[in-house]
Structure 1
Amino acid sequence: MEEEDLAEYFRLQYGERLLRLLQKFPRIEDHSDSPSIRLLEKKKEAEIMHHAMQQKKETFQRRMETLNLRWEELGVKEAQLKAHIQKFEQFIQENDQKRIRALKKANKERELKKQCTHELAKAKQEMAALRLEHQRLSAKLQEYSIFNKYLEKVVENSEFEEIHEVIARYKTLVSMHQDLMQSAQEGQEKVERAKAQLARYKEEKDDEILQHNNELARLQMRFDRARSDVIIWESRWAHIQNTAAKKTLLLGTIKMATLNLFQIVSKQLKEASLVSLEDTHKQLDTIQQFIQDLSDIWAEVKKKEQQQVRV
């Protein structure tokens, strides 16, 4: 496969060159027509071409070997370059890490320095404040020294032996005074609370009395209204009783008249009546039926009379 590729390569690369080279040789066939001579010339041309091809092949092989060597050298240089680049990147990375650590350290030292400066300034301020306080206390001590002298004179002219006994006695009296004031204040507060409770109780009772008075007035109004209603209903009851008596009398009269009519009708009918004397409704029914029968008879009579008159 490699020989075929090599032959194809030579054919493409050197074919035209060999043709131009062969064209430089004189054409013998123009001078002689002998076949043997032409054959020798062709062999010679073939040998020349083979020799040229062999030289080109050797040259190409040398070039390929040179290229392979250079390729190997380039591979070695590439590996060396990669290693160098890797070392350089590692060096840069280490330098970056060192730089970052240095920056962090510098920032930390800067913050520490700033904090120390702040604490120093604060300490100076506190020192100045303490000095001012010391001066103030010294001035107070100088100012209160007269009281110390006064207490010394008090001790000399009293039953006390030391100044601190006088101060302790004073503190005891002040404490007793505060206790008495507190007790008095508590008593006053109790009195105020009692007064407030009494006022609240009186107010509640006044409200209850007012509510009871209002309820009493309302009940009195209801009583007066009920009493007036009783008078009205008593008069109405008397009127109802009078009306009932009149209606009872009228009802008795009606019953008597109905009974008389019933008895007259019964006589006219000449029949034994089974209706009770107290049953007014049935009596009225009988009277109504009798009147209806009379009306029918009278109508029949009138009708016959009219017929006779026409005849």
Structure 2
Amino acid sequence: MLNLDEYFKTTFEDKLLFKMLEREEDQLTPATRLLEKRRELAEVEQALATQKEEFQMKMESLQQRRAELERKELQLKESLEKFDKFLKENDLKKNRAIKKANDERDMKKAKDKEIEILQVESENLNKECKQMKNKQDAYMIFNSFMLRILNDTEEFNEIRDIISRYDTLISTYKDLVEAEQRNQDMIEKIKQNTLRETEEKHNEILGYNNLLSNLQSEVEYYESKALFWESKWNHIKNTASKEALKSGQIKMATRNLYNVIKTYQEQIITEEVTTLQQLNYVRIFGEDLTTITQTIYNEFCQDEVN
């Protein structure tokens, strides 16, 4: 409220000051100017009071509207809370109803399944009962047959004796079958052993035959090698004979040449020397003879030149 008073006061003071400035230009008398100012001031105060009263009325109206809005807002909030509570309760009831319906549906399915199982079991029991009845009817033939045997023979006193004899015969038959099976197994085992031993002997004979064939091949190979080396030996002997003959001829020629040189040198052979020594002696003589001949030839050529 104080701020509004200051606002209106400032506004009217500005207007009053503006008018006073305008009147000063008219050069009014001070008394007239004072009265005019008082009149204007009264008008301004009257207008200010009127506006203040209007503003106060507007403020009261606004406060009433605000209070009404707050009251309505509170009512709306309460209504919303009640409606939300109603929705939650309704959802809870709905969920309980759905759960109950689902449970009842599951229970119904389980009961239906149980009924189906019981019906199947009942049908199976009826079938089994019928089968047992059929077996009973079928076995009545054997009962009549055994009663007839008891009446026709004095060996058995009761049906139990016949069954006991039957069990004994069946047991004996099984023993005989088992013994026969054991004998057959033994015979089969002997056959298998004989066949295996025969096969082993056959394989052993084949092995010896292969070994004999390999040895025969080796004998033939070594015989061919012996013939080859025998021909080689004959060739070597023939070659050795020829070489021995040639060696003898060389030795004889060397001996003759050695004797000729010794005779030429008028030397007497006093000791036996080897063929190699003879050849060495002949070589030295030949070299000396070549040197002498070359010297004589050179001197002859020199004399011819002179």
TM-score band by shorter chain is 0.7 to 0.9
After superposition, the C-alpha distances for 1:250-276 in whole angstroms (9 at most, x for unaligned) are 3344245335545655777899xxxx9
Q: Percent identity?
A: 36
Contact 1:151 1:163 in 2 (8 A): yes
TM score, norm. by length of structure 2: 0.75
Corresponding residue for residue 182 of structure 2? 186
Cα distance in 2 for partners of 1:39, 1:125 equals 125
Corresponding residue for residue 160 of structure 1? 156
- SS in structure 2 of the partner of residue 160 of structure 1: coil
Q: How does 1:33-182 map to 2 (within 5 A)?
A: 33-64=28-59, 66-68=61-63, 70-71=65-66, 74-75=69-70, 77-78=72-73, 81-82=76-77, 84-86=79-81, 88-156=83-151, 157-182=153-178
1:204 aligns with 2:200: yes
1:149–1:225 distance in 2 versus 1, CA, 3 Å: same
Contact 1:259 1:277 in 2 (8 A): no
Gaps of 5+ in 1: none
Residue from 220, 237, 240 that aligns with 1:241: 237
TM score, norm. by length of structure 1: 0.74
1:70–1:225 distance in 2 versus 1, CA, 3 Å: same
C-alpha RMSD of matched pairs (Å): 4.2
Structure with more relative contact order (C-alpha pairs < 8 Å, separation 6 or more): 2
- SS in structure 2 of the partner of residue 92 of structure 1: helix
1:226 aligns with 2:222: yes
What count of residue pairs does the alignment treat as equivalent?
299
Contact 2:255 2:275 in 1 (8 A): no
After superposition, the C-alpha distances for 1:117-171 in whole angstroms (9 at most, x for unaligned) are 2332332233233323323432332343232122223334344343234223323
1:210–1:50 distance in 2 versus 1, CA, 3 Å: same
1:153–1:251 distance in 2 versus 1, CA, 3 Å: same
Cα distance in 2 for partners of 1:161, 1:72 equals 121
Shift of 1:277: 3.0
**Which stretch has the larger CA shift, 54-63 or 211-220?**
54-63
Shift of 1:209: 0.8
Contact 1:160 1:166 in 2 (8 A): yes
Gaps of 5+ in 2: none
Cα distance in 1 for partners of 2:301, 2:5 equals 170
Cα distance in 2 for partners of 1:108, 1:283 equals 143
Shift of 1:106: 2.0
1:289–1:63 distance in 2 versus 1, CA, 3 Å: farther
Contact 1:155 1:163 in 2 (8 A): yes
